[in-house]
Amino acid sequence: MAEHRNGNGLQSSSKPSGGGGGGGGGGGVSYQIDLENFAKRLQALYGNWKENKGELWGNCDAFAVATPPASEDLRYLKSSALNIWLLGYEFPETIMVFSRKQLHFLCSAKKASLIEVVRKSAKEAVGGEVVIHVKGKGEDGSVQMDAVLRAVREGKGSVLGYLAKEAPEGALLELWSGKIKDCGMEVVDVTNGLSDLFAVKDVEEQKNVRKAAFLTASVMKNFVVPKLEQVIDEEQKVSHSALMDETEKAVLQPARVKAKLRPENVDICYPPIFQSGGQFDLRPSATSNDENLYYESASVIICAVGSRYNSYCSNIARTFLIDANSLQSKAYEVLLKAQEAAIAALKPGEKVSSVYQAVLSVVERDAPELVPNLAKSAGTGIGLEFRESGLTLNAKNDRVMKPGMIFNVSLGFQNLQSPQNSSSKDQNFSLLLADTVVLGPKGPDVCTNISSKAVKDVAYSFNEDEEEEERPKVKQETSRIDALMSKTTLRSVHSEHNKEEARRLHQAELARQKNEETARRLAGGGSGNGDSRSVSRPSSELVAYKNVNDLPFPKADLMIQIDQKNEAILLPIYGSMVPFHVSTVKTVNNQSDTNRNSYIRIIFNIPGTAFSPHDANSLKHQGSIYLKEVSFRSKDSRHINEIVAQIKTLRRQVASRESERAERATLVTQEKLVLANSKIRPLRLGDLWIRPQFGGRGRKQLGTLEAHINGFRYSTSKPDERVDIMYANIKHAFFQPAENEMICIIHFHLRNHIMVGTKKTKDVQFYREVMDMVQNVGGGRRSAYDPDEIEEEQRERDRKNKINMEFHAFAHRVNDIWDQSQFKGLELEFDQPLRELGFHGVPYKATAFIVPTSSCLVELTETPFLVITLAEIEIVNLERVGFGQKNFDMAIIFKDFKRDVFRIDSIPTTSLESIKEWLNTTDIKYYESRLNLNWRPILKTIVDDPQKFIDDGGWEFLNMDATDTDTDGSEESDKGYEPSDVEAESESEEEESESASLVESDDEEEEESEEESEEEKGKTWEELEREASNADRERGVDSDSEDERRRRKMKTFGKSRPGPSSGSMPKRAKMR
């Protein structure tokens, strides 16, 4: 921590801080002071000054804060903190003087142009006049300083406050320091006043600290711990300073540790600290030396990481024990209890000293011999400064704790001695634990708790304890050597066999838990039968006309009429026009004969026939007589065609409307969307297509997605094309960047259905195409080295990256909205598919690329969409898994047995191992089977008799391994491999041949017996080789070399057959 880099200096390469609500992102943006935040905090400053003028501010009538020049070193100064807290940025080489009636700024012209905007806000907030003194490039600022001090004296100021503990840096501040000493006024230190001002953080400040703490804990959990385990596991030699450099890079790249924070808003609080090998320093100024990490038996490793978000600090420290001895284990357990007691003692209204008293009482009770080694404080306040001196957690601080204070609870034992260790690096050790804690109205909130400090997670053992217990004491020295030679891995396993064994054990534990969970759910009646088919809703009573007077006036020639308004067909029957509602028509068609007569045939829906629904009318008029069909003849074929077309069009319109009405009747009533007002501009993402698309004809329109107070609204230029999605109705939200696809996607999977146009859906997707569809008019192939082609590809890549970044920024900002307290219960966050875990399969009718996320299994590119919540899965059965199979199927059984089993077919076998590993890591129990199962009767059997299902072992009937073991449980199964099946097959073939020979001739029987006798008298290959070699020597031919014989032998047998063995020749197949 010795080197301290400056946080948010106002330079061309700097970045604005969010601490004061400053706008903007990275370098190159225009700086803008948040006036609302400035006014609020200026009021707080003057209020604290007025309230504590005598106690903390030294009765000063005015106070000055001078900011030093920009520096690349990490440093924490109250002057810089006040700049960031009040203005949002640090203004280097700027002097601010606060008096009751005026605010003086002495700075350069560029900074003056930025500060100019606060005049009105300062006047409205505290009634103070802002006076800006511009220092020219060639000036030393002496004239402007005299003007400032003169204005203070004229305002009846006799006491001037300043930051006495900050040494002046640079020519400007050195000159100012001399001026205030010779100003003729009494000078006092106002450090305590600013410390009290910064002690209680507002909501925005707490949010920044929480984000910094999340990043810090993520670095410790997702980078430091795995890195240490890898180094120790592979016995690498890595220095503390090298680990420090790698960890610093991880902090500055949040994506590496799964933290969705902008890198430009992130920095380190201090260089990460790694200590081991007996050299420990628990002070915040400690550094990582160049010694190698020491991880032998009974060693201790201390790691500390601090990060900043928008200049607000956070801290975490963990101690790791390697084959800890009894003293180290006891000391760590006591330290853990003491830190937990310190955190529990953080209560509003209590004195700060009570925290250290709680620590001391735990250590004195559980390990009084460790009291001399206990640190003299339990931490400090933390915020814009890494150590807020006014909030030190020691026994002498009597300040009262308030909600909004934030503490770095850091506790340790220094210079403990372990005499039983032989090495000097093991004898001396220290322990350290630190966490960032926000004090809320009801108590403390540990912001870094995602990084575990439990003994089981920080204590590692290399020795095989079970083997050591089984070994006799006589061989104690040998066992010690063997233990050192056989170090186990920490949390990773090199051997595939061990990996498979670990997975098998985990699946066995999951099977036990799943059977218990299923038994409890079935016993409680938590699931019905497996039939999920819905019952059709009865249609409303069909009424075309309420009374006879509503009938249209009949035409003179009594022709068929279509009443579009009342949705009726009027048919001339026996001289009268009889109305029929169009919904009663089942089919209508027309045809012509050879005499130029045209016929129209209308068939009606009547109860009792196949595929006719029993609606309210048929149930109400059960004894009535129904007209089944009617036909009319006409000489006017054109009129008949028009009538048929009108009836079909009207039927289609009415059916569509009734379908939509039935769909809407099943919708859950949603809350009303609260639109963002003029002060709070909604987040917008434009030029989006929507799926499912709106109905209707005409060209489809691009729309805009807006995030309002309690939900989203998507709308196009057409007034009737609008969709509202409430935050409370969103079950899962996904952001899928365009990588191998042509579209970038924002997708919402909903809890309840909504209507998009005329379609009822639970999935709503918004996307933008990242590449324009173009066609080469020339028709010829273009060279890969064509500059136009290269430029076009580069444009396409830039467009894809730009769209991905725009969608990512939108999702990130919406996540910030969902982090607000009113949406905490929804647990919403944009999830991103993990493409490296994806696999191909057929979820519906076509092959798709299915990708897991942290909480779902999804396919969002092709319709229909696939979104399966992992928490709703009971088990997964992998079917058609067997040797030689190119594909297998996945059957997903849900906890709600009323839902049909979902199948994903034709998954390549190459994806089997990765799918099994993914299911295992997500704690989903899976089984394997060689055949496809009919799941509907299986689930029905389970629901009908759950007790029998539980008594029979639950889901273990799917365990293929257990079934194979039971069936092969004979005594011969323990023997080695014997080709008994081959012999049995040969015997069966002989039996078949004998039975077949009954119908053959005697000559064939004699030939078979001769062949068999020859086979029985056959010689081995060695004998035949020996005879051939002797014959060659008798003829004077040189014997071939062993290689030549082997080559000739292989040529005779061919590559596909194995060579002859030293045993007897196998029997030849009998020839017929």
Query: pLDDT grade, residue 975 (50/70/90)?
Result: very low
- Structure confidence at residue 42 (pLDDT): 94
Question: If you average pLDDT over residues 1042-1054, what whole number do you get?
Answer: 49
- Structure confidence at residue 1001 (pLDDT): 43
Q: pLDDT tens-digit profile of 146-155? A: 999 999 988 8
743 vs 503: which has the higher pLDDT: 743
Question: If you average pLDDT over residues 530-549, what whole number do you get?
Answer: 55
Cα–Cα distance measured from residue 715 to residue 702, given in angstroms and rounded to the nearest whole number: 9
Q: Which of 600-604, 664-668, 757-761, 871-875 has the lowest mean pLDDT?
A: 664-668
268 vs 770: which has the higher pLDDT: 268
Question: If you average pLDDT over residues 921-928, what whole number do you get?
Answer: 91
Q: CA dist 432 to 280, 334, 409, Å? A: 10, 12, 11
Query: pLDDT grade, residue 883 (50/70/90)?
Result: confident
**Cβ-contact 542, 960 below 8 angstroms:** no
Q: CA dist 437 to 149, 182, 197, 343, 344, Å? A: 42, 44, 19, 8, 10
- Structure confidence at residue 310 (pLDDT): 92
28 vs 51: which has the higher pLDDT: 51
In the block, tokens 């062949």 appear at 1011
Burial 932-949 (b: 16+ CB within 10 A, else e): eeebeebbeebbeebeeb
Question: If you average pLDDT over residues 512-525, what whole number do you get?
Answer: 78
- Structure confidence at residue 1035 (pLDDT): 59
- Structure confidence at residue 566 (pLDDT): 83
Query: pLDDT grade, residue 466 (50/70/90)?
Result: very low
What is the DSSP secondary-structure string of 798-815?
HHHHHHHHHHHHHHHHHH
Compute how many other C-beta atoms are within 10 angstroms of the C-beta atom of residue 996: 10
Torsion of CA 851, 856, 861, 864, to 10 degrees: 120
Q: pLDDT tens-digit profile of 41-66? A: 999 999 999 999 989 999 999 999 99
Query: pLDDT grade, residue 507 (50/70/90)?
Result: confident
Q: Find the helix or strand (DSSP H, E) in which 85 lies.
A: helix 78-87
526 vs 892: which has the higher pLDDT: 892
Return the percentage of the chain with pLDDT > 90, whole number.
Answer: 44
Q: CA dist 463 to 167, 227, 276, 472, 488, Å? A: 55, 21, 20, 16, 7
Query: pLDDT grade, residue 959 (50/70/90)?
Result: confident
- Structure confidence at residue 953 (pLDDT): 84
Q: pLDDT tens-digit profile of 236-248? A: 999 999 999 999 9
Of 375, 368, 366, residue with least CA distance to 333: 366
Query: pLDDT grade, residue 463 (50/70/90)?
Result: low
Question: Which phi and psi (to 5°) does residue 352 adopt?
Answer: -65, -35
Asked if residue 781 has pLDDT above 60, the reply is no
958 vs 767: which has the higher pLDDT: 767
Q: How far apart are the first and last CA of the chain?
A: 93
Alpha helices in 132-252 (DSSP H): 142-154, 170-181, 191-199, 203-219, 225-233, 240-252
Cα–Cα distance measured from residue 444 to residue 441, given in angstroms and rounded to the nearest whole number: 8
- Structure confidence at residue 537 (pLDDT): 39
- Structure confidence at residue 253 (pLDDT): 92
Asked if residue 755 has pLDDT above 60, the reply is yes
Query: pLDDT grade, residue 1012 (50/70/90)?
Result: very low
Asked if residue 269 has pLDDT above 80, the reply is yes
- Structure confidence at residue 367 (pLDDT): 92
Strands 568-573 and 561-563, how do they pair? antiparallel
- Structure confidence at residue 617 (pLDDT): 56
Query: pLDDT grade, residue 462 (50/70/90)?
Result: low
CA 340-342-346 angle, 5° bins: 115
**Cβ-contact 332, 282 below 8 angstroms:** no
Asked if residue 7 has pLDDT above 50, the reply is no
Q: pLDDT tens-digit profile of 157-172? A: 889 999 998 999 989 9
Query: pLDDT grade, residue 138 (50/70/90)?
Result: confident
Q: pLDDT tens-digit profile of 611-657? A: 455 455 555 566 678 888 899 888 888 888 888 898 888 888 888 77
Average pLDDT of every residue of the chain: 80
- Structure confidence at residue 470 (pLDDT): 40
Return the percentage of the chain with pLDDT > 70, whole number.
Answer: 77
Query: pLDDT grade, residue 839 (50/70/90)?
Result: very high
Asked if residue 1057 has pLDDT above 50, the reply is no
Alpha helices in 668-724 (DSSP H): none
- Structure confidence at residue 758 (pLDDT): 79
- Structure confidence at residue 962 (pLDDT): 55
- Structure confidence at residue 545 (pLDDT): 81
Query: pLDDT grade, residue 986 (50/70/90)?
Result: very low
Asked if residue 1033 has pLDDT above 90, the reply is no
Question: Which phi and psi (to 5°) does residue 303 adopt?
Answer: -125, 135
Cα–Cα distance measured from residue 728 to residue 706, given in angstroms and rounded to the nearest whole number: 16
